[in-house]
Structure 1
Amino acid sequence: MLKRFCLFALLNIIVSIAYARDIYVSPIGNDHSNGSKTAPFATLQKAQAAARKNKQEKVTIWLMGGTCYINNAVVFTAADARPANAPLSIKAYQNQQVTLAASKALALNWQPYKNGIMQARVKGDVIFDELFVNGQLQHMARYPNYDADAKHFNGTADDVLSPERIARWQHSEGGYIHALHKSEWGDMAYRITGKDAKGELTMEGGWQNNRPSAMHAKYRFAENIFEELDAENEWYYDKTSHTLYYYPPKNLNLKNAIVSTPQLESLFVFNGDAAKPVTNINIDGLQLTQTLRTFMKNREPLLRSDWTIYRVGAITMQGAEHCSITNCYFNNVGGNAMVFSNYNRNNEISGCKIIGAGSSGVAFVGDPAAVRSPLFQYSQANDLAKMDKTPGPVGNNYPADCRVYNNLIEGIGRVEKQVAGVQLSMCQSITVSHNTIDDVPRAGINVNEGTWGGHIIEFNDVFNTVQETGDHGSFNSWGRDRFWFPNRKQMDSINLAHPELALLDVVKPIIIRNNRFRCDHGWDIDLDDGSSNYEICNNLCLNGGLKLREGFNRKVYNNVIINNSFHPHVWFKDSKVSFQHNIVSSGYFPIGVKFWGDDVDNNLFPDSAALNKSLKNHTDAHSTYGDPMFVDAAKGNFTVKPNSPAFKIGFKNFPMDEFGVVSPRLKAVAHKISIPAIAASMDNSASATMAFLGAKVKSLNTLGERSATGMASETGALVLDVPRRSVLYGVLNANDVILQVGERKINDIKDLAAAAMGLQIAKEITLEIFRNQAAQKVVVKLK
């Protein structure tokens, strides 16, 4: 009896020692083992349970090399909370490659089907949303076929929904239609539910964009349609017969291939709250892959921005403090890579690679209940008499004081297009520093609204952005906070009567400094729709220029803007905006600016013509012009030489070699930005104008005019001025766009001139115009 007791005691000692500091998990482990190096567990959940037994000292769960197919996400709760002096780390053992796949590896017996397509029966209840073969993502059967070089969705066709195409699809239910927003403000997706009596598709969806619209007429594709399985690397799963069809490439040994399909949305979930947070847990050095796509669940509106969100990522963190994700590789996850939802404090993601995520890279999203007088649609507006005028948030259920540092984020938005490398919404004091973000369909960094400011955006390298969408920037923000009205006349009156309202939500300034931006399809820095309380300094803008639309309390100084300039759009009176000590490459591009802020002055222009145009607007009295004398522009060094005229206007050099990731490991694999050749001074002369019924108009033909009006394309006739003597006075406003005169479509002022010739004997005419983001018709009495 004594021997048995002693043996039992000895085993307890061995187990407790194993649980004390180091716990081991291996793909070939066993959960009935003791978790030691020589007898590792098989699952993280077993190791997690063991770690809970020791909170008096630091514990490390070591994962041994190999691929683990995870059946259930690891969920941390308050029961896993650790004291600061006894944290928990989950790490790769001796830097071995550890892959956690949220998928199921399939045992398949492949048989020929036809035309090079193979088929295999699948046992059990398996989700089929994506397919990986030997770790490589394959293509759901689609039309048109996948084209790696196609700009939008890797291939689109305007006849996707043609009757002829749809008639080919015998069982279209379960298929998907993906399309860009009509104005290219992100995308939308629809699940096909069947066909109606007319043979037309019935669908559900389209909720993925918070600015509802019809599908884009051209940029759309269909997937998960059996009849479209006609190209190598395509696949289709028949749920009824439990049969997987796959068109393998000729060089693939399918018999020995590892075929897997995602089953989970998340691999790790931190699930606490402010009262009982998860604390002091670190996940380090793991590869995370093959999570489910979540695009059909992306439907929660983010206040009045263009965004909707699904608060789930490969790692989802909610109710956590002092937790970190470091040196991990998010490889082809199906949805968001990392989501910080609601209460989070002092958490960090750093040293990570996020490559090929289906949705966004890193998203911070607070609780709308923490927002005072929240609104959720662009066209909504608060009743000022009833609006809560208390500054700042309600409670603390939002992310704050967190950091995104030294991450490489590339090729995200593989599935969804309203995405960002880093998205900030309903949060405060988030630091986004030394990240390299490129090859994204929309913004590299997006600030969704002003709530509640305090962010520091610094030393990032952001380029190859807005690749598949439009009217956006490498950095983008909206400021449609509780004070903001979509109607300009109302905003003018509100601003004059209540200037204090602009900073009720953005209570702390947002600082953008020491970054390098390049956007070839929009602006380098785009502050849209009332974005307020910004300080923007020491940024290198390489192509798209810097735009400020509406907004208040913004200081822009000491930036270098190459091959572009400053784009002020529709400013308010007394907006408290300054633009000083900047180097620009041409004259400004103002649209609808009557009031020029506090101080637009002391800037360096390339030549006298560019400066003189600004002097006509009564700005830049102390500015000058000349060659800035960059040290080595061809190699990206835009510091200026000691005798540069830039110093005369107060410019100060800032570092040109500190942008982007800092770790050698990430620097070695990061894409490199393309440095543009410096173009000659841009032609900033006004384009041709004409008089139409006494109003001054021009062709709408610039990206800036498109953005300022909200048009989906650069077309129509832009109204510049409607004097009192015009018959259009009181009917049209400056910044309206004339789309149609009677039955004649207006693409430019040539069309308008032709239409005007037919109005000499008319008594009235109907115009279709675009105003306040919508087309409308007005009747004009001519006699």
Structure 2
Amino acid sequence: MCLNLLWACTRPEPGIRFYIAQEGSDLNPGTKRKPLASLTGVRDAIRKYKAENSVTDTIWVLVEGGRYFMQEPLMLTEKDGGTKTYPVVYKAQDSDEIPQFIAGKKITGFQVDAQGIWRVKVPETLYYGWQFDQLYVNGQRASIARTPNTGFYKIDSIHQTIWERGTGRVAERARQLVGLSEEEFSLFKKVKKEEEDRVRFRAYHKWDFTIRYLDKVEQDSLWMYTSGKGMKPWNPLQKGHRIAFENFEAALDTAGEWYLSKTGELSYYPRRGETPENSEVIAPALPHFMLIKGQLEKGQKVQNIRFEGLSFQYSHYKIPPSGFEPNQAATSVNAAIELEGAENITFQNCEISHTGQHGIHFGQGTQYCKIEQCHLNDLGGGGVYIGTNTIVAEELTTQHIEVHNSIVQTGGLEFSPAVGIWIGHAANNRVTHNDIGDFRYSGVSVGWRWGYDHSPAKNNKVLYNHIHHIGWGLTSDMGAVYTLGSSEGTEVSHNIIHDVYSYSYGGWGLYTDEGSSHVKMENNLVYNTKSGGFHQHYGKENSIRNNIFAFADFNQLQATRVEKHRSFDFTHNIIVYDSGTLLAGAWEKIDAQVDNNCYWAYKQDTVWFQNKDLENWRQTGKDLSSIVADPGFENAASRDFRFASEQMIRQIGFKPFDLEKVGVLGDNNWKMKARLPEEKRKAFQELSKKKKNPGH
């Protein structure tokens, strides 16, 4: 009886089993003794099994720990799913040994030249034209050869000639002439003639940037010629905008840079301590780890698949000949894992890292999917993208996607306008208990409609997230949480938001942009922002309630457009600061209920409401029951926003919220993994001390 009990306690979960191992072969049947070698191999074996048998149990794919260099992306269709009762599960065989699926190729055989540069011939480039735009050394992203190495040049002049107007606001085809100062233009004397058509520039403007190849360079006139789409009239390149150049050999002049020639010579300038013998160099090769796509035109979806404990690393994004046209949130960029026409797909305890593009995209026709306790990091683009950037038929709208208890960090490394978690035309999605940080544009973006026309983005919830270290002084007009369009039922609550720093204007904590309507923002702690804790550009009937806004550099609160409807209610909030002004914009004229708030300036004798003290400010009809008083934090200067006393906040009806419940959940190891490294936090702090003028 004891033996039977022991067996019952240790027997494996019931189901049909297929095995993948490093020593396996895709000619094997997939048993434990004769395992398969790849995800594609096991997919085909499951298809064969299902064709010959009726499936009345869960199908388990058990993957041995180790590294698997992928030859092709895993492509799953409606043939490859399970049922709700009997799903298909791809899972690490041993929870202590994480299987790593590598979408790249090792580069070996480097020789060190007299200058210390590593060089090797890549035969696939020479014979097959293989070019890659990312490279990793010892798991660290290297930088393609660039000048200047830090900072930027400035555009001295720009002129556009339209070749084909088209019908839209942006010309279909145009040529731009970009000029630099004579001193900066001298860099092109170092560019070899055969390299000119491979040189790219990255030009940064407001919330976006442009990547373009050069058509030609005129040394006499100091002009660079480039062509493609016309410049967007609302966000064009202009004199004074920042620009950098990359992808030519003479720019290979600092540690951590690399360059690949047309003839296949890969050159790398090593970092301190790196040698060819102690280093692993990986060039990403595949554009995707996985594509999960049903046939929506036939009403067929990929359903009921789960991935557990797997790691996906080193996907490639090839910059096309057209470069990258300015595109807010980089929505035109693909993802390393893409789903379309999928339902009940779960990623649990998985990793997506070292990507050239976004991590994962839940596209049209995808519903009831989940990411839970996953780690997305070192991302060329954004982390999780949900929905579409164009409105699709209602039945194809992305819905009921959950991103929970995950770490989404360090992104926008190739495409700075990318977002940590982006929700476009999508409804009923939940973003809860995540750590979202170290992005160059916005942390979370919800909605994708400028103005008040119909938007499918309804009932999206952004709750209990830690969102931090956003912007890095690279983009402008951005926020930790950014919303657009009519968004009934959308809620942004119980989040801790801090360290938001834009290049010029617009580093806000909570940012309700064009047409944001019916959004509820409550019980958030927002501090250490550049341009303000809250800004509404324009919108309708939003509720900003029971939040703490603290220590913005320039303006604590901002409201821009005056409209003939109630723009927002701003009530029961606490606002404290030690620099800058309290209010910026049209607060006196805007239709907003502003009341029962607590204001306090630690380094000023009086709180000024746009040149009025509280008594005179009340004559505008706002803040009739608000107070100017120290709210009684434990130690606001050290960013401890617990209350030593609740005496003052009771006067405004403020209800304290539990900050300990925010962020990732689980054991201490998981929580520590979410902590941004000390050197990054210090670097961000030093950057924000510069306090550039936030002029428009």
**Short-chain TM bin:** 0.7 to 0.9
Change (3 A) 1:86 1:299: farther
Q: Equivalent residue for 1:321?
A: 343
Q: Equivalent residue for 1:395?
A: 394
CA contact (8 A) 1:175 1:222 kept: no
Mapping of 1:80-479 within 5 angstroms? Answer: 80-95=80-95, 96-106=97-107, 108-124=108-124, 125=128, 126-145=130-149, 162-170=184-192, 171-173=194-196, 175-182=198-205, 184-195=206-217, 200-204=223-227, 211-214=234-237, 217=240, 219-239=242-262, 241-249=263-271, 251-255=273-277, 257-274=279-296, 275-294=299-318, 296=320, 306-310=328-332, 312-366=334-388, 368-370=390-392, 394-450=393-449, 451=455, 452-467=457-472, 468-479=474-485
Change (3 A) 1:135 1:620: closer
CA contact (8 A) 1:179 1:215 kept: no
Q: Deviations over 1:627-676 (max 9, x none)?
A: 21124546655343564221122111111111211132421122269999
Matched residues in 1 for 2:25 and 2:229: separation? 46
Matched residues in 1 for 2:374 and 2:136: separation? 22
Mapping of 1:641-660 within 5 angstroms? Answer: 641=644, 643-660=646-663
3-state SS of 2:431 partner: strand
Change (3 A) 1:81 1:290: same
> Are residue 568 (structure 1) and residue 559 (structure 2) matched?
yes
Q: Deviations over 1:348-399 (max 9, x none)?
A: 11211121101111111326242xxxxxxxxxxxxxxxxxxxxxxx422221
Q: 1:526 aligns with which of 500, 508, 511?
A: 511
Counting aligned pairs with the same residue, the percent is: 22
CA contact (8 A) 1:273 1:320 kept: no
Matched residues in 2 for 1:174 and 1:552: separation? 49
Q: Equivalent residue for 2:687?
A: none
Q: Equivalent residue for 1:514?
A: 494
3-state SS of 1:532 partner: strand
Task: Give me the CA root mean square deviation.
Answer: 3.3
CA contact (8 A) 1:35 1:47 kept: yes
Q: CA deviation at 1:472?
A: 1.8
Matched residues in 2 for 1:160 and 1:344: separation? 53
Q: TM-score, normalised by structure 1?
A: 0.71
In structure 1, give the amino acid aligned to 2:653: G
Matched residues in 1 for 2:319 and 2:231: separation? 7
3-state SS of 2:651 partner: helix
Q: CA deviation at 1:441?
A: 0.8
Q: Deviations over 1:672-709 (max 9, x none)?
A: 69999xxxxxxxxxxxxxxxxxxxxxxxx974xx4xxx
> Are residue 622 (structure 1) and residue 628 (structure 2) matched?
no
Matched residues in 1 for 2:152 and 2:548: separation? 30
Q: Deviations over 1:425-453 (max 9, x none)?
A: 11112111111112211111112435322
Q: Deviations over 1:140-171 (max 9, x none)?
A: 222223x5xx6999xxx977994311121013
Matched residues in 2 for 1:210 and 1:161: separation? 29
Q: Equivalent residue for 1:546?
A: 534
When structure 1 is superposed on structure 2, of 202-211 and 214-223 the one drifting more is 202-211
Q: Equivalent residue for 2:17?
A: 22
In structure 2, give the amino acid aligned to 1:320: A
CA contact (8 A) 1:177 1:220 kept: no
Q: Deviations over 1:45-77 (max 9, x none)?
A: 111122232442111212212221111100111
Q: CA deviation at 1:534?
A: 0.7
3-state SS of 1:51 partner: helix
Q: CA deviation at 1:81?
A: 2.2
CA contact (8 A) 2:354 2:377 kept: yes
Change (3 A) 1:321 1:246: same
Change (3 A) 1:202 1:301: closer
CA contact (8 A) 1:208 1:295 kept: no
5+ residue gaps, structure 1:
1-16, 371-393, 480-502, 677-700, 712-783
Matched residues in 1 for 2:317 and 2:645: separation? 54
Q: CA deviation at 1:593?
A: 4.3
Q: CA deviation at 1:620?
A: 1.3
Change (3 A) 1:459 1:636: farther
In structure 2, give the amino acid aligned to 1:535: K
Q: 2:666 aligns with which of 663, 666, 669?
A: 663
Q: Deviations over 1:408-430 (max 9, x none)?
A: 12211111111111111111121
Q: Equivalent residue for 1:79?
A: 79
Matched residues in 2 for 1:307 and 1:588: separation? 30
Q: CA deviation at 1:121?
A: 2.4
Q: CA deviation at 1:188?
A: 1.5
Total equivalences in the alignment: 604
3-state SS of 2:27 partner: coil
Q: CA deviation at 1:86?
A: 0.8
Matched residues in 1 for 2:77 and 2:314: separation? 24
Q: Equivalent residue for 1:687?
A: none
CA contact (8 A) 1:158 1:219 kept: no
Matched residues in 1 for 2:104 and 2:624: separation? 64
Matched residues in 2 for 1:348 and 1:620: separation? 43
5+ residue gaps, structure 2:
1-11, 155-178, 450-454, 502-506, 609-613, 683-691
Q: Deviations over 1:20-56 (max 9, x none)?
A: 6221112221111221222211111111122232442
Q: CA deviation at 1:234?
A: 2.7
Matched residues in 2 for 1:609 and 1:139: separation? 47
Change (3 A) 1:76 1:116: same
Q: CA deviation at 1:308?
A: 4.4
3-state SS of 1:49 partner: helix
Q: TM-score, normalised by structure 2?
A: 0.79
Matched residues in 1 for 2:182 and 2:14: separation? 58
3-state SS of 1:542 partner: strand
Matched residues in 2 for 1:606 and 1:510: separation? 30
Change (3 A) 1:308 1:209: farther
CA contact (8 A) 1:24 1:40 kept: yes
3-state SS of 1:42 partner: coil
Q: CA deviation at 1:135?
A: 3.2
Change (3 A) 1:104 1:60: same
Q: CA deviation at 1:316?
A: 0.8
Matched residues in 1 for 2:408 and 2:232: separation? 23
Q: Deviations over 1:564-623 (max 9, x none)?
A: 543222231222521111112267414134544352111122277443353142211122
In structure 2, give the amino acid aligned to 1:509: G
3-state SS of 2:565 partner: coil
Q: Equivalent residue for 1:41?
A: 36
In structure 2, give the amino acid aligned to 1:477: T
3-state SS of 2:620 partner: coil
